[in-house]
Structure 1
Amino acid sequence: MNAISGNYTRFFTGDFNPASYGTHPDFSQYGPLHRAILEGDWESTESFYRSHPEAVTNSITESSDTALMVGIMSGQKIEFITNQVEFGRVDLRRVNKEGNTALHEAAIVGHLKAAELLVGRNRSLLYIRNLDGYLPLHLAAAYGQREILFYFLRVGEVHNIQLSESELDMLMHLEISARFFVPYVKHIQEIKSMHDRTKLFVRMFCWGLQGSPEHSSILKKAFLLGAKNGIQEIVEEILVVFPDAISYVDEDGHSALHLAVMYRCEHVFNFIIQQMGVSKKLLLKVDNGGNNILHLVGRMPYQPQLEVGSGAVLQMQRELQWYKEVEKLVPVQATTTLNHDGKTPMMVFDEDHRRMIQSEEQWIVSLASACTVSTTIIGTIAFSAAIQVPGGNNDKGHPNLNNETNNNTGHPNSNNETNGSTFRLFAISNAAALYSAISTFLIFLSIFTTRYAAIDFLYSLPNRLIIGLISLFVSITSTIIAFGFAQYFMLFEEHETWNPTSVVIMSFALVTLFAFLQFPLLLNMMKTTYGRSMFNLLDGRNSRKGLRF
């Protein structure tokens, strides 16, 4: 595959520096033309063409790239490329040192409009191979240029290109290696269109291999690679045409189901379990190391598939959810089976995840420490406000602001009535702040005393963190509300109208800030703990458990 990286890499490295061409005796005269093309200056380019007619077809770089190739590789607008093609007699079949035509270069950089223009002028460009035998179709797949590849498949009549079985295998591998089937698009309609075209291509690939004696060796690589990369379309379409592909294993004895578990590809896992059935033969299959599927799910993932949400606790929780889900499917004897190292699945899980447990324990302890300090401060403030209430107490020890009668006349006073109602709201919010602060302190105190066993990360610790963060949010919000009422008492004067807008805005801003900083973590934990499972099985086992402490 080193040939594939040729032109594209050369263009973005120092080897493709236009300033360097001025020092080469063979190409120094084309320096102005090269700079004009890179700048998209058609007037200067046309002027150079008229004064140097040979520049239209000659190579202008040390890599034998033509002016048209430079224009395409630099991503010039289609109007500029069209002017280049229509000026003079441009040889569209001319190749550079790597044997690439202008269409090869368009496939590499993803210039779809240039590719449409070139194919419209000369359809035979689709069938020209470079020095390594690659068609433009191959290069589009290798660089993940989805739109151009689908365009080549649509207009190039891929069956007439006469791809050999080994080339079909290579084409599929290039697409998977370039993450071709991962739909990096934003809109639902685009996702559906990409999904349908992907399935069409894979179906075409499988149909082309029907009746071939070598279909097993070719499909085996693509099928297992698709399972490992989590590309459900490949797995689904191959199994539809060749159901026996479910028995394919790699050199280490890993089946597609093994790879889906090892690389944490839940979509492939769900499809295989739902469509192919949960057979004991499939689930009890062991690899060359004597590991069954439960041993394999007990290992750390073979690629970073853990970042499913904020907070380290979610990583360990996800690992445990994988293990528990696979454990439900396998027979009981699989949980105690020893591999060639003499280890049970749970022993493998504990050993492989020991470092993760330690790091997540540190993360949880640090979070609990910070929250405990915060709630201690809030509780101190709330308790102090309950003892030393705004306005002080009367001779009987009752809060003055809670008295709805005038202390001098003994008759009802409208202002005192307002103060009394407001004071009761202050007392309620202050009590809520104090009690929720104490609750938060107790919850996070229980986190400090947890044994931090692996199973605790599944429900116990997430539940405590969720309740603790909710209680902390209530205490902070109640404290801010109580402070707002206290400000009202301090600034209120008889016969004066007080505008509380500024205090309300500042209070709302503080609550919003806390929600903005902590709610993503809280919502993600609630989703993974109480939400729908990522394993969409048909037997009802995809619901979450209740609260567990």
Structure 2
Amino acid sequence: MEPPKPEDDIVKYKAWIEKNASALNAIGLSCELDIFSQIKKINSAKVVWDTLAKRYGQPSQGVLNSVGEQGNSSNISGTKEDKPSGAAAKKTTDRNSSNNPGRGDEKSHDYVKYAALLNLVRSGNLDALKDFLRLHPEATSAKITFIDQTALHIAVLAGHEHIVEELVERMSDDNLAIQDIDGYTALARATTTGNYRMVECMIKKNQKLVSIAESSWGSIPVVISMNFDYKELAHYLYSLTPQHDLEPEKGHHGASLVSFAIYTLALDIAVDLIRRCPQLAFALDREQFSPLYVLASTSEAFLSGKHLVFWKRWVYSCMHVRPASRATHETRVNIQNIQGETITTSGFKKLREMKLIHIQSHELLSRMCEKISTLNEEARSNGGVYAAIFRAIKEGNFEFVYEIVRANPDLLYVIEYPAKRTIFMLALLHRQAKIFSLIYGLPQRKIALSGFDATYNNTLHMAGIFTTSTPIHHIPGAALQMQRELQWFKEVESLVPPMLKKGLNNDCLTPRQLFTRDHEDLMKKGEEWIKSTATSCTVVGALIVTIMFAAAFTVPGVSVPVNLFVLMQFPLLVDMTKSTYGPSIFNKKMKGWI
């Protein structure tokens, strides 16, 4: 039976629309996602059922009768034999009730009524959608799914820009603010997809949407877009978001935006927002971290987090990058002694972008450091200042530690609890040579090295501690790793007061004894590495094997008078080591900086 046409009988046509929608909804609820994807663009329940019958061999008489004659959704599933019974029926009932908690028959009827609209929006059929909305103009504001989504929500998630534009044009400003079960407006859902055109379309009609937070995380659209790393969209939303929405008194929006901007290296937004509202540096974001702490953990925002080869370091030093005005991507670049056209190549472009990020990160850090000096002890602790310093040391974020203690020298003596370790103890524990080298810029370095932690480990003990998390994996081969550990211990030993060399910790171990115990496994692996290398490298192997048993390397404190540094007497190994690691771990030429 052909469906009635609106020009023939509008009453019958409306009745058919509702019956057809009921059938489509029932079929859709019964299908798995992979099957539904095959039929979602079909607008006729009869055609859908015949398609499924053809593919899966099910009879179509039941659904044809229910759509064409009765319109009763309870009969849509076909004949009695087609309906589930027993456990299967209970499972279906439980599933439907779990998808529709606390909702009455009236709302369920609405979902059935608008099933055709749901299908039209998902399929992107604009002409059919217009026909439906002419008959049901109220449908634009109806919640048509079990999770309270409107047709606009569905169109956004389906990615149909033309459908979104049509619906926005028909909807009122207030209806654009309708939220789904998770508190997302259609605009908020659009920000999760990064669709600039959809977002712009909705905001042009109702700019107040930028201030509506979803309920899952309590985030406003600009925070959502930055979290998903949609930088262009985030810049657009940031320019339209009222500043008072981003102040600490309004919740975590501002702190979260700064944190996500740091994570995604969209630092122009972070700098601008901290400039306008400095206290955001110490406010907690939605993950309960302060932006200062996030910056400390993001070592790639600073030059020390990058390892550039020689020519890139030279080009980097020659670049002059000046950030443009607030929250834009525009920069002015001038590179001395380099032809203008070469800057367009990808390598130079990446270096330019890198240097811009480093300039912005320094400005951001400087603004945060200025504010730290005005905070009392409680505000520093609650704002994550101390935690940020300790995290920066672990990450090897030299610029962060240097700038923050230079601007606030009293922070040089902060203690990490409950371990009760100083900045320099932590630098040794995490093998951060550049940070530890700050000790050479202090006038009273011996005093700074004289502390003890909660288990009575002194500074030299820190150089002897070795765990699975000790950062030596960038060094190839266990023997060279062992050599590096010895080098650390020897250099720290030359710095500490003599009494610390014999100091005992709570395990009654001196620093040398602790070093020996913790490095026993690495020592064995180093011996195996040397043997395997000697086997595979004939010439070098002959030299190594010659001295291997006569002067096998050991660790400090072992009674056998042999030393790993014997290997360093061979010119080849000396050259290899110097070219790889340099003559010293620490920068002993560090100038006074306090």
- TM-score, with normalisation over the residues of structure 2? 0.58
Q: Which letter maps to 1:326?
A: V
Question: What is the CA–CA distance in structure 1 between the aligned matches of 2:244 and 2:458, rounded to whole Å?
Answer: 50
Work out which of the residue numbers 290, 293, 296 in structure 2 matches 1:176.
Answer: 296
User: Once the 2 structures are TM-superposed, how far is the Cα of residue 68 of structure 1 from its aligned partner?
Assistant: 2.1
> Cα offset for 1:204?
2.0
The 3-state SS of whatever aligns with 1:459 is helix
Query: Secondary structure of the equivalent of 1:535?
Result: coil
For the 8 Å contact 2:420–2:454, the answer to whether it is kept is: yes
Q: How does 1:49-68 map to 2 (within 5 A)?
A: 49-50=168-169, 57-59=176-178, 61-68=180-187
- Supply the AA of the counterpart residue of 2:204: E
Instruction: Give the number of equivalent residue pairs.
Output: 399
The answer to whether the 8 Å contact 1:144/1:175 transfers is: yes
Are 1:253 and 1:288, in contact at CA under 8 Å, matched by a contact in 2?
yes
Aligned match for 1:257, one of 418, 424, 428: 424
**Quick one: which of 346, 357, 372 aligns to 1:194?**
357
**Whole-Å separation in 2 of the counterparts to 1:27 and 1:352:** 64
Report the Cα distance in structure 2 between the residues aligned to 1:363 and 1:240, rounded to whole angstroms. Answer: 43
Aligned pair partner of 1:459 in 550, 565, 580: 565
Secondary structure at the aligned position of 1:329 is classed as coil
**Aligned match of 2:255:** 137
| Cα distance in 1 between the residues matched to 2:222 and 2:273 | 14
| Cα drift, residue 449 of structure 1 | 5.8
1:5 is matched with: none
* Structure 2 letter corresponding to 1:119: Y
Asked whether the equivalents of residues 396 and 435 of structure 2 are also in contact (C-alpha less than 8 Å), the reply is yes
Residues 475-508 of structure 1 deviation map (CA, whole Å, 9 limit, x = unaligned): xxxxxxxxxxxxxxxxxxxxxxxxxxxxxxxxxx
How far did 1:357 drift?
1.2
Q: Match of 1:92, SS?
A: helix
Q: 2:56 matched to which residue of 1?
A: none
Q: CA deviation at 1:255?
A: 0.5
Equivalent pair of 1:56/1:88 in contact (CA under 8 Å) = no
| 1:536–1:156 CA distance, 2 compared to 1 (3 A) | closer
**Displacement of 1:216 after TM fit?**
6.0
Question: What do residues 106-149 of structure 1 show as CA deviations (whole Å, max 9, x unaligned)?
Answer: 23123222222123223336526699x31233344157435445
Aligned-partner residue type, residue 145 of structure 1: Y
2:226 aligned with 1:95, yes or no?
no
**Alignment-mate amino acid for residue 566 of structure 2:** S
Query: Would the aligned equivalents of 1:103 and 1:118 in 2 still touch at CA under 8 Å?
Result: yes
The 5-angstrom pairing of residues 497-516 of structure 1 reads none
Cα gap change, 1:342 to 1:66, in 2 (>3 Å): same
Q: What displacement does 1:284 show?
A: 1.6
CA deviation after TM superposition for structure 1 residue 257, in Å: 0.5
Q: Once the 2 structures are TM-superposed, how far is the Cα of residue 191 of structure 1 from its aligned partner?
A: 4.0
Structure 2: runs of 5 or more not aligned: 1-32, 41-94, 101-110, 112-142, 309-349, 557-561
Task: Rate the CA distance shift 1:359–1:325 in 2: closer, same or farther, 3 A.
Answer: same
The 8 Å contact of residues 317 and 458 in structure 1, kept in 2 or not, is answered as yes
- State the SS of the aligned residue for 2:469: coil
Report the aligned-residue RMSD: 4.0
Match of 1:69 in 2: 188
Show the 5 A alignment for 1:465-484.
466=572
Matched letter for residue 271 of structure 2? L
Find 1:441's aligned residue among 542, 551, 557: 542
Report the Cα distance in structure 2 between the residues aligned to 1:188 and 1:179, rounded to whole angstroms. Answer: 16
Give TM-score, length-normalised by structure 1.
Answer: 0.62
Alpha carbons 2:184, 2:213 under 8 Å: kept: yes
Give the Cα–Cα distance (whole angstroms) in 2 for the partners of residues 123 and 156 of structure 1.
15
* Superposed displacement of residue 93, structure 1: 1.3
Residue type matched to 1:538 in 2?
Answer: K
Match of 2:584 among 506, 511, 533: 533
Superposed displacement of residue 294, structure 1:
0.6
Amino acid across the alignment from 2:228: V
Identity of aligned residues (%): 23
* Preserved CA contact (<8 Å) 1:447 1:464: no
Between 1:334-343 and 1:301-310, the stretch displaced more is 301-310
- Partner deviation per Cα, 1:5-29 (whole Å, 9 max, x = no partner): xxxxxxxxx9xxx9999x7755538
Q: After the TM superposition, which residues 490-501 of structure 1 pair with which residues of structure 2 at under 5 Å, given as runs?
A: none
Aligned pair in 2 of structure 1 residues 75, 196: CA closer, same or farther (>3 Å)?
same
Deviation at 1:231, TM superposition (A): 1.9
- TM-superposed CA distance for 1:74, in Å, is 2.1
Moved more, 326-335 or 443-452: 443-452
Instruction: Write the mapping of 1:412-431 to structure 2, written as runs, cut at 5 A.
Output: none
- Counterpart of 2:455 (choices 284, 289, 301) is 289
Shift of 1:209: 3.3
Change (3 A) 1:162 1:198: closer
Corresponding residue of 1:109: 228
Deviation at 1:101, TM superposition (A): 1.0
Query: Cα offset for 1:262?
Result: 0.5
454 and 267 in structure 1: CA distance in 2 versus 1, 3 angstrom threshold: same
Q: Within 1, Cα distance between the matches of 2:174 and 2:555? A: 70
Q: Which amino acid is 1:238 matched to?
A: I
Name 1:419's counterpart in structure 2.
none
Residue 370 (1) aligns with residue 536 (2) = yes
